A and B are shown apart, each in its own frame.
Chain A
Amino acid sequence: MSHSIMIMCEQNDGRILPVTDELLACAARIAGCYHSRITAVLPGNITDADAISGVELLVINSPGLAEYTGEGWEKTAILAAGEIKPDIIIIAHTSTGYDYAPRVAARLDGSCITSVSGIEISEGDISYRRGGFHGKLDLLYRAGQRPLIITVLPGAFAPYDQSAAPGMVRYIDTDIHPANISNVHFSSSDQSNTELEHAEVIIAAGKGIGKAENLEMIREMASCFKRSAIAGSRVACDNRWIEYNAQVGLTGKKVAPLLYVACGISGSAQHLAGMKDSKTVVSINRDPEAAIFRHSDICIVEELEKFIPEFIREAEKHRV
C-alpha cells in the first residue's frame, strides 16, 4: 500500500492561512522520501474552497465547523483519517494546533511529536527534529506506531512553491457539532505598541533580570540607542516586570529590528519565533550553555547586573 500524508489546513473564516504552505513544504519533503500521496484537509462551512497545487483538498463541511473548537477539529481529523488512512498527519503548531493535535494522536493511538523544527532524511528514513532540555539540545525522534501526528513550528519550513497543476477539491458534508464545548466567543485586546513596532533597537529582558528594580538598567541601556524600545520574554511579562503588549515570542509580538539585545533570556523556541528575523542579535546571559547563544551574533557570558552598567558607562564615555 502506498504511503499517505494528511495535512490539516490552518484556516480563518474559511480562508486557508499562509502557514498551511509551510505544512505542505514539510509534507513535500517527507513525500520525497516515502513517495507519499498528500491530502490536505480543510474543516469549515465552505462552498468555494481554493484548490491547492499538486495535492487533493478534502473539505469537511458542517455548520458546526464554522469556527474553531478543539472538539470539532478533533472529530474532523478523525473522520478524515478514516477516509485517507494516513501514515502521517501534519498540523501547525499554533494555538489551535497544540490544542487538538495531541487529542487526535490519543484518539488514534498513534505516535506524536510536537513543535517540530525540521526533518532529517538518512538512509531512506526520516528523523524529526525538535528542541528539548530548555532548548539546549536538539532531539531527533523516530516515528513509532502509526499514524504519526506531528505539529510543525511556524517558520520552520520555507513555504511550498505552488507551481504544480491545481489539485482536486472534494467536499464531504457532515454533521459534526461540538457536544461538550459551547458559547464560543472571540475577543481581542488592544495589544498595540507603536514604540516597539517601530523600534530599530530592542532591549529585551528575560527571567535573568531577577527583579523589577533591574528594569531600570534595561531602560537605561535602551536610552543609549536611538529609536529604541524595551521588550520582554513571557516570564518577564508574567512577573509583571514588562507589559504584555511588549512581550516578544510565539504568543506575543513578532519583531525584526536592526538590533535585538536579549538580556537574561534563555532562548526557548517560543521566544525565538518572535525575534529570529532581527538583523543583529546580541545576548547577555550568565549561563554559558543558554540556548539563546546559538541564535546570536554576539554572545556575552556575564552577570547582567555587572555587565549592563559597565556597557552604559562605556557608551557615556563616547558620548562626550
Chain B
Amino acid sequence: MIITRKVEFSASHVCRVEGFSEEENRRQFGTAANQHGHGHNYVLEVSLEGQPDPVTGMVMDLKELKEILNRQVVDLYDHRFLNYEVPPFDRLVPTTENIARDIWQRLEPHLTGSGRCLHAVRVYETPDLYVDYFGEQPCSA
C-alpha cells in the first residue's frame, strides 16, 4: 500500500540559466526569470510504499515521518530564498523538478528500510503546476 503525508513551505526563487541570454531565459522560464525572484506556497506530498507492521498496524509512524519532513526539508526550505540559501540551488535552477529531486535525495536515506520505501515525491509549485518524482530506481519494497 501507499501512504502519503503532506507538508507546506513558502520560499522564493528565480529561474535562470547562467549561460542563457535574457531572451533564452524568458523563452524557457517566462516571468519566473525576473531578476529579483518571486515566491510560492509550495505543497509537498511524500508517499511511502510498504506493508503495515503486524503489531502496530502502521507502515510508518506518521509522527516520525512528520519530524523527518520538518528536519530534512521544511526547516531548510521554509522562508528562504532557494538560490541564495539552500544548496544545491546555488548551482542548479530551482525548478519544481529539481526541488522534487533534491527533496527525494534528502529524504530517501531516512525513509527506506524495514519493509517500506520512498515511492514518490510530489511538489506543487502552485495548485495548477506540480511534479511527481519517482527516483531513478523502481521501488521494490
| Chain A complexes with chain B | no
B interface residue numbers (CB < 8 A to A): none
Binding site for B on A (CB under 8 A): none
